[in-house]
Amino acid sequence: MAFGSVLSILGLVLPLLSVNGLRTKRSLCPDGVNTAINQACCALFPIVDDLKENLFDNECGDAAHGALRLVFHDAIGISPSLGGGGADGSIATFNETELTFHANTGIDDVLDAVGPFLQKHSNVLTPGDFIQLAGAISLVQCPGAPRIPFFMGRTHPVAASPPGLVPEPFDSVQTILKRFGEVGFTSDEVVAVVGGSHSIAGADDIVPNEQGVPFDQTPSLFDTQIFVDVQLRGTMFTGQGGQQGEVQSAVAGLVRLQSDHLLARDSATNCAWQSFVNNQPKLAAAFGSGVLKLSLLGQNQAKMTDCSEVIPKAIPFTGGPATLPPGQTMNDIEQACATAAFPSLATQPGPATAVPQIPQAV
Ligand code: HEM
Ligand SMILES: *[C@@H]1O[C@H](CO)[C@@H](O)[C@H](O)[C@H]1NC(C)=O
């Protein structure tokens, strides 16, 4: 078990080491400021700075969350039977088509924020490269999130993604695992990418009349609290809310996706879900390799340029262990995994207060 997680950490770290350590020396970029091993990556440094400062405001906030969601909604648009280009930027170039897909609700706002930067840097990066670079930069705004590699060289998208490829929150676990399985993801990888991303996330659209409703108590920390908050007992909506795939959370201020709720409980995924609780290194490693895999869907890595060296350092994890909200005990955890007990957690002191909404980018 420990061996497995060490291997997965190595899997993530080695590509970075081989880029930064083994290959050759860094030399000065034409800007006279930055240095790079691969001079083809020099043009990316000003773009990275622009995104950090002007798109993300150096924060793990709404804009960073949106850029990460965009990574997924672009990349997952590929299927062995139906076609699609994967992480090709089609969600931006063919927005007129892809934004009509129900599962892409809210991506219009993300593209409103990201689009001007994509246009501004289109002389250097294709839409597919831009979206994946922005996603990698969004992660290093979030304490605890991994620094993932970035490969450059996606060609321009040739067509919109076929409809029906982006999972919906009201899909069953079986449907979700089948969809991800078609593009090579195991059930453990699904739990890592979904749970990890939703630890820095919230809903801007699916909760009627509300924006920035967090999925866990710490939406600007990449941590394992989501795996606790979703395992607390929750009430399935039966009316309109249920149709939208929401579950009433046991924590005031949060919303829970029905898909997250079911991934935490289904026998195919519940032990993997639980295994991330208070295992920050395991989550960061499994999530990092899962997002890298998403970023390469439909792409040929061997033909791409490794520009991982432009990605800034990760922000170390600063939070404490995952906890139960005030007033709740281990009895409020809806144990689902049959083969291991849920890790024992402390309860936060004090009266329960609603988790604040995530301030909106604009
Ligand atoms: C079963 C798969 C998934 C489903 C059904 C799903 C569904 C959703 C839904 C419904 C929202 C809220 C949208 C809104 O109202 O604004 C959301 C937010 C988000 N999702 Fe997912 N998601 C899935 C997987 C993923 C994956 C794999 C990633 C990234 C690797 C991701 C990243 C995010 C992020 C970062 C947000 C927050 C966006 C924001 O706060 O503005 N999701 N997701
Ligand atoms: C698609 O993107 C273009 C360029 O950014 C924008 O002008 C247009 O309004 C977008 N269309 C939709 C449906 O979002």
Q: Give the DSSP per-residue string, 249-286.
A: -SSTT-EEEHHHHHHTTSTTTHHHHHHTTT-HHHHHHH
Ligand 2 proximity of 115 Cβ (cutoff 6 Å): yes
Is residue 228 within 8 A of residue 170, CB to CB? The reply is no
Q: Is 112 annotated as a binding residue?
A: no
20-60 confidence digits (pLDDT tens): 445 678 999 999 999 999 999 999 999 999 999 999 999 99
119-142 confidence digits (pLDDT tens): 999 999 999 999 999 999 999 999
Helix axis angle for 280-295 and 127-139, nearest 10°, is 170
Nearest Cα to 206, choosing from 246, 261, 234, 248? 246
Residue tagged 């490269």 (tokens): 129
Ligand 1 proximity of 180 Cβ (cutoff 6 Å): no
The domains found in the chain, sorted by start residue, are 2-165+288-310 (1.10.520.10), 173-280+320-332 (1.10.420.10)
Ligand 1 proximity of 194 Cβ (cutoff 6 Å): yes
41 CA → ligand 2 middle, Å: 29
198 CA → ligand 1 middle, Å: 6
Distance CA 117, CA 207 (A): 28
88 CA → ligand 2 middle, Å: 17
Q: Cβ neighbours of residue 112 under 8 Å, at least 6 residues apart?
A: 362
Torsion of CA 76, 242, 231, 178, to 10 degrees: -30
Residue located nearest, by CA, to atom 13 of ligand 2: 96
To the query of whether residue 65 is one of the catalytic residues in this protein, the response is no
Distance CA 149, CA 164 (A): 29
Residue tagged 């304490």 (tokens): 143
Ligand 1 proximity of 189 Cβ (cutoff 6 Å): no
Ligand closest to 146 (CA) is: 1
Give me 45's structure tokens.
């440094």
Quote the pTM value.
0.93
Q: Is the pLDDT of residue 161 over 90?
A: yes
* Percent over 90 (pLDDT), the chain: 86
Distance CA 110, CA 64 (A): 10
* Ligand 1 site-directed mutation target among 68, 69, 78, 249, most atoms within 8 Å of CB: 69
Is residue 185 within 8 A of residue 293, CB to CB? The reply is yes
Share the mean pLDDT of the chain: 92
| Start-end of H helices in the chain | 2-17, 45-50, 62-75, 90-93, 95-98, 107-120, 127-139, 173-182, 187-197, 225-229, 240-244, 258-263, 270-275, 280-295
The better pLDDT of the pair 250, 278 is held by 278
Q: Is the pLDDT of residue 206 over 90?
A: no
Mean pLDDT (whole number) for 198-225: 95
Ligand 1 proximity of 106 Cβ (cutoff 6 Å): yes
